[in-house]
Amino acid sequence: MAAAITQAEAATISIASVSDIPAVDRILNLTAAQPLLAQYGRTRVTAAVRRHLDQLRADALAGKLAQADVDESQLVEILAKQLAAANRLHLRALFNLTGTVLHTNLGRALLPDEAVQAVTSALTAPGNLEFDLETGGRGDRDSLVEDVLCELTGAEAATVVNNNAAAVLLMLNALAQRKEVIVSRGELVEIGGAFRIPDIMQRAGAKLVEVGSTNRTHAADYANAITPRSAMLMKVHCSNYAISGFTHSVEVSTLAELARPHGLPVTVDLGSGTLVDLTQWGLPGETTVRETIRQGADLVTFSGDKLLGGPQAGLIVGRADLIARIKKNPLKRALRVGKLTLAALEPVLRLYLAPEFLAERLTTLRLLTRNQLAIRVQAERLLSVLQTALGTRYTVTAEAMFSQIGSGALPVDQLPSYGLVVRAGNGAKRHGRALDQLEKALRQLPRPVIGRIASDALWLDCRCLEERDEAVFNAQLLDLSL
């Protein structure tokens, strides 16, 4: 599309008219256009040619069509670019340099190759999703992962739904519809705007009974709230906030003692739900699903794509009689997972059976445990490429910074990391604008680069930049248009 031409430019370029614009067929018959026809088909290429020529006609009538705009080889080149852009999928791979490893907006956990291969196979061949290979009869899709989930958590039974929000909704609807659920005021969480415990409770048809205060809840608060209408005592992980200072909350084991004489279950929404002790890799400690069950939780719900490092899923593990009730609920059918999820989940869970290899084989854990020195070496390797691509308007340095786990996992803990810090100019005005411009240009690369702007700088944390992707990262920086 021709830009408006200034007088100075008009003196040096020759203006073209409508009669200089080639016919559609002429373009379609050009040798250079043949690969486009082969790739995209005549229908799409013809439409693209028409659209572009219409634009040229409008430019010509406005007196702003240059001879160069009707150059045939240039026309084909523009068409190739337009068709390639239109053909690009909306869901694209990008570089997550935000420093948040499990970034909800960027798709959370990355899956290991074992999971990718299992998904490929599930996509391209029929499988025993609900078919019992022993009996030849109908099978249960949960049984594909139930054994391994029980082995890893010490639970009697397990079921899987679409995500953890669905797991909580289903559990509440199945066990507490038209009844009361007792929860501490300090645990009424909101996750990412749309998931709020009080709202989910209402949608599930359960009545929330809040006990205690925001910062302190005691065993007696729960005990005093138990009535014949109670369905369960529930604990919710404070995933994305921390209450510190003068605080008190009640342990799962205490709740279990309180609930047992009344025959009430204790349920725990663990959110991220780790399956192993993360402190062995120097990461912050989190109560595992197994510990929560050992402490007396009757049911535990958690996500598949947070710290677990698998596909989006909601896992419910615990007492066999309660899981059986949950599985009979019609919502279970509405919230069930597809074969791709199960295909990806099983190999990820199996990696946990060999914890000694986990930090190497489970992508999420590998990224979380990347050593700061290794990240530093990488950042320093990338520094000059980025500085060259950005030119003198920007200054790039390699600096220490902190990554976050993300996805509401361990909100207060940060991981020592390293990355590139870009500052705009030196002493020039409108720094903010130059940074915003850079942030946008990086976002518009073929494989967008996403960082974060803070303290007048663009921070590009290298923790999640896989070494095998570095070549692509570097190569596309050369095309950066600022």
Ligand X SMILES: *Cc1c(COP(=O)(O)O)cnc(C)c1O
Please report how many Cα atoms fall inside a 13 Å half-sphere around the Cα of residue 336, on the Cβ side.
Answer: 15
Q: Which part of the chain contacts ligand X (CB under 6 A), choosing from 134-142, 188-196, 446-454, 469-477?
A: 188-196
Q: Strand locations in 434-476, DSSP E?
A: 449-450, 452-454, 457-461
Verify binding: residue 191, ligand X, rule CB under 6 A: yes
Q: Which of 96, 303, 341, 378 binds ligand X (CB under 6 A)?
A: 303
H/E run at residue 470 = helix 470-477
Shortest distance (Å) from residue 183 CB to ligand X:
12
Shortest distance (Å) from residue 162 CB to ligand X:
8
In the complex with ligand X, the residue whose CB is nearer, 112 or 271, is: 271
Total residues contacting ligand X by CB under 6 A comes to 16
Rounded CA-CA distance 205/188 in Å is 17
Q: Which of 102, 189, 405, 465 binds ligand X (CB under 6 A)?
A: 189
Q: Which of 99, 212, 271, 310 binds ligand X (CB under 6 A)?
A: 271
Q: Which of 96, 98, 164, 173 binds ligand X (CB under 6 A)?
A: 164
% helix, strand, coil for the chain, step of 5: 50, 20, 35
In the complex with ligand X, the residue whose CB is nearer, 189 or 349, is: 189
Residue 260 neighbours by CB under 8 Å, 6+ apart = none
Q: Which part of the chain contacts ligand X (CB under 6 A), choosing from 30-38, 158-166, 393-401, 439-447?
A: 158-166
Task: Tell me whether strands 394-406 and 409-424 are parallel, antiparallel or unpaired.
Answer: antiparallel
Verify binding: residue 204, ligand X, rule CB under 6 A: no
Contact in structure between 171 and 326 (CB atoms under 8 Å): yes
Q: Which part of the chain contacts ligand X (CB under 6 A), choosing from 157-165, 287-295, 321-329, 429-437?
A: 157-165
Please report how many Cα atoms fall inside a 13 Å half-sphere around the Cα of residue 400, on the Cβ side.
Answer: 6
Amino acid at 121: S
In the complex with ligand X, the residue whose CB is nearer, 2 or 167, is: 167
Verify binding: residue 292, ligand X, rule CB under 6 A: no
In the complex with ligand X, the residue whose CB is nearer, 210 or 269, is: 269
Verify binding: residue 367, ligand X, rule CB under 6 A: no
Verify binding: residue 237, ligand X, rule CB under 6 A: yes
In the complex with ligand X, the residue whose CB is nearer, 406 or 419, is: 406
Q: Which of 195, 222, 394, 418 binds ligand X (CB under 6 A)?
A: 195
Q: Which of 180, 269, 298, 346 binds ligand X (CB under 6 A)?
A: 269
Residue 39 neighbours by CB under 8 Å, 6+ apart = 83
Give the residue nearest to ligand X (CB).
271
Amino acid at 141: R
In the complex with ligand X, the residue whose CB is nearer, 314 or 451, is: 314
Contact in structure between 180 and 224 (CB atoms under 8 Å): no
Residue-wise over 48-83: b if at least 16 C-beta within 10 A, else e?
bbeebbeebeebbeeebbbeebbeeeebbeebbeeb
Rounded CA-CA distance 125/117 in Å is 12
**Binding to ligand X, residues 408-427 (CB under 6 A):** 408
DSSP 263-327: T--EEEEEET-BSS-GGGGTPPP--BHHHHHHTT-SEEEEESSSTT-SSS-EEEEE-HHHHHHHH
Q: Which of 98, 239, 274, 404 binds ligand X (CB under 6 A)?
A: 239
Verify binding: residue 172, ligand X, rule CB under 6 A: no
**Cα Rg of the chain (Å, integer):** 29
Verify binding: residue 314, ligand X, rule CB under 6 A: yes
- Interface residues toward ligand X, by CB under 6 A: 163-165, 168, 189, 191, 195, 236-237, 239, 269, 271-272, 303, 314, 408
